[in-house]
Amino acid sequence: MMGTDITNDKPGLSRVDGRLKVTGKAKYAAEYDVKGLVYGVLVGSTVTKGSIKNIDTKKAEGAPGVLSVLTYLNAPKIPGYQTDSPPPKGPLKIFNNNQVYFNGQPIALVVADSFERALFAASLVNATYNVDTHQTDLKANIANGQIPGRGKDYLKGQEDAWKTAPIKIEQEYTIPTEVHNPMELHAIIARWDADDKVTVWDKTQGVKGTQRSIAQAFKLPPDNVQVNAPFVGGAFGAALRTWPHEIAAVLAAKAVGKPVKLVLSRADMFTSVGYRPYTWQKVGIGASADGKLAGITHEATGQTSVYEDFTEGVVNISQLMYACPNVNTRYKIVSLNVNVPTPMRGPGEATGAFALECAMDELSYQLNIDPIELRMRNYAETDPSNNKPYSSKFLSDAYKIGADKIGWTNRNQKPGAVTENGWLAGYGMAAGMFGAHRSSATVLARMMADGTLILQTAVTDIGPGTGTGMVTVAAETMGIPADKIRFDLGDSSLPPSPTQGGSQVMSTVGSAVHDACVALKEKFKALAGNGDATNYTQILKQQNLDKLEVTTASKGGEEQGKYSMYSWSVHFMKVLVHPATGVVKIDKAISVADAGTIISAKTARSQMIGGTIMGTGMALMEEAIIDHRYGRLVNNNFADYHVPVQADIPQVEAYFVNKPDLIINPIGAKGMGEIATVGVAAAVANAVYNATGKRVRDLPITPDKLLV
């Protein structure tokens, strides 16, 4: 059987934390009631490049309830920022000097006894600047692109071989800046418990990573930094690192001797916690008349900040996706006066897949070959970049499932040939891939005398249902009901786990949960002797024990060097385009994942639906716009920065190949969070072309671009 819609056949466990979330009992970073709490509000630079000439804080300091106004002039020195030589490029060191690198850069932090008073006082801070000429336009500065440090061009076979192929295309594609914009604003509460001990409640995708960052900045033993993040209201990559506002809150709490809460505004979210960078791409593809690829050249240039280099694997997908004898890629970055980008769901691959999968679609029309057939004729059975076998790959199954569910046979190869009720109708598809990673994690498993199993590890959950997946693994391994299992997470004092990002948590932590449960069962087996080793409560009673526990570390082995490991997806779209207005409606969306064993069917389905919605926003709406005259964002709000709402999205259907990959880990599961988005934007763009005959290569696909 190719695969099944397991969301119908096997619904699986409902979210173990669902009731806490929907009843409001789940507490997020800004919601903790900490005794003596005061409030911080950031003040941002109003210029884009230069230095602070003077910063007047007297009015703010004299405002009601204000405890302190921190700037580079009076803020306590952050120990980890002090060096004898000029620092190299790296994370922005807040309040370290008077330099301004981007518009909205924090230049002051007002602390007051209420949020409203802090917000008012922040409006009273006045700065003057020595202004320099700024650069924020990638296209205007693309000639200044540089190969990033330790980066290099990739070449397999002959360079630019596509140019001599019988059939070829070359096109340019651009993706604008996109902002993560999760529902929960970034927030932190910082409290010093002693001169060398601090506790924070923080929005973070990795409590251990945040613990290390704060410890390094303030020169503290890591164990003296307690980080709490039991619930995180979405992140998509924006909370993968410790940002300047987090360091500022810890610094302010030290300065005023009180716990400080700092919550970013929605406008701050556009300038303080990263984004998907504006990226220009050019793809050249050549093939023989029968559709066999002869060469691929993929170039990309993305933006970064002037103070820190950000790179991502935009061109890597062209090295890996198809069997092609000649592939070369080039990747550069341009330093601009913008805040630094950061990974955003499907980082690099989502950007690169838009260009590659649109180019493949364009080639299919040149060849007059069905887009799925073209991909199958160039299907890579082994990794094209290193000739290693895959740990598993069932993408061909995913193609078949998706084509059947979308009704691909209804597609007309001629663009603009089909209408439905006065709308142009079109079908498009695109594939996606992302590395299937397994790092290391440690899990404590403790069986209590009443039969309750407690699992503990420091991993966070940004929304995919991590706890639900881990409880499912434990229930199946231990042979006990899920409601007898508690999964503790989001606490830096718990055994170490990786940051939630890069589609690694289910593979890594799920395997650690499995291994811990197996070890615990072995311990019970030793105690039971010849008795029933599965009657855990009886064994504990017989041994006069109130609990039995193990702590197990788990990680991948030699297989990681022997195999190439990836998750795969394919996205199908049917769109309707109004010929008079250019309005695009998604009529039907099908996403199919090849992500190994599906552990938790309900949350897996949610992952795919959420990723498809995000990719649809990428295709049709999302664009952070800078007025380059001033270097300032003009749509840093939800009124002007458009994201999909309910009316924009039809019922998205998610399907799964659901075949285990037992090489990568003992539970057979691979990551899904990234492949849920990688390829979606290209599928939409390809469907729009099939409907209209107009190819939009500069996202987003807005009506004006279809009416020219």
Fold of 34-132+189-234+239-272: Aldehyde Oxidoreductase; domain 3 (3.90.1170)
pLDDT at 12: 81
**What's the number of CA atoms in the CB half-sphere (13 Å) around residue 399?**
15
Q: 584 forms bridges with which residues in the sheet? A: 577
Residues 6+ apart with CB under 8 A from 460: 204, 205, 206, 207, 229, 232, 466, 489, 490, 499, 500
Task: Grade residue 449 by pLDDT with cuts at 50, 70 and 90.
Answer: very high
In this structure, of 46-55, 81-90, 243-252, 539-548, the range with the lowest mean pLDDT score is: 81-90
Task: State what percent of residues in the chain have pLDDT above 90.
Answer: 96
pLDDT in tens, 78-110: 999 988 777 789 999 999 999 999 999 999 999
Q: How far apart are CA 280 and CA 354, in angstroms?
A: 11
Whether 279-437+562-706 and 34-132+189-234+239-272 are alike in CATH topology: the answer is: no
CB-based contact 312:343 (threshold 8 Å): yes
pLDDT at residue 7 tops 80? no
- Token look-up 């924020």 returns 136
pLDDT at 10: 57
Average pLDDT, rounded, for the chain: 96
pLDDT at 85: 74
pLDDT at 351: 98
Q: How far apart are CA 30 and CA 246, in angstroms?
A: 13
Q: How far apart are CA 88 and CA 199, in angstroms?
A: 30
Domain range summary for the chain, segments of one domain joined by + = 34-132+189-234+239-272, 279-437+562-706, 439-555
pLDDT at 379: 98
- Against a cut of 0.95, is the pTM above it? yes
Fold of 279-437+562-706: Aldehyde Oxidoreductase; domain 4 (3.30.365)
Domain range 439-555, its CATH number among 3.90.950.10, 3.30.950.10, 3.30.365.10, 1.10.10.10:
3.30.365.10
Q: And the tokens for 69?
A: 């106004």
Of 109, 112, 119, whose CA–CA distance to 37 is shortest? 112
- Confirm whether 674 is a catalytic residue: yes
pLDDT at 530: 87
Average pLDDT over residues 213-231: 98
pLDDT in tens, 380-430: 999 999 999 999 999 999 999 999 999 999 999 999 999 999 999 999 999
pLDDT at residue 2 tops 70? no
pLDDT in tens, 609-665: 999 999 999 999 999 999 999 999 999 999 999 999 999 999 899 999 999 999 999
Q: How far apart are CA 504 and CA 511, in angstroms?
A: 11
DSSP alpha helices (H): ranges in 224-264?
Answer: 244-256
pLDDT at 708: 82
pLDDT at 3: 40
pLDDT at 582: 98
Pick the catalytic residue from 178, 357, 653, 674.
674
Average pLDDT over residues 567-585: 98
